[in-house]
Structure 1
């Protein structure tokens, strides 16, 4: 993205979600073409169930989306 990186956007949206009266809590699926290891994801506070690595299949995407929607 031209104005901010994906991780920064993720945290911005998470911070907006801290006030549920003002901002509804939309489910977030973080996608990246880069391989993110577990320690990086923990450092950035990215939940592994909210992450999918590109390239992914339609079935993988649908499974991930269903999992996120079912958890909300």
Structure 2
């Protein structure tokens, strides 16, 4: 039971991180249409969820790069 609880917590945390990223990107005027959780990383009894940034058009990649350059370090 604890294993499944921990696995579910990890997945919920990854979903929260994905939504935080989506919100921050939207604030910067950037949409990554394929932003999701990596299905393979969710498999098994001990998932290690990964946020999959997915694909984007070259102009979106440039917007993302510009936003990162503006970000304070």
**TM-score, scaled to structure 1:** 0.31
| Bigger radius of gyration among the two | 2
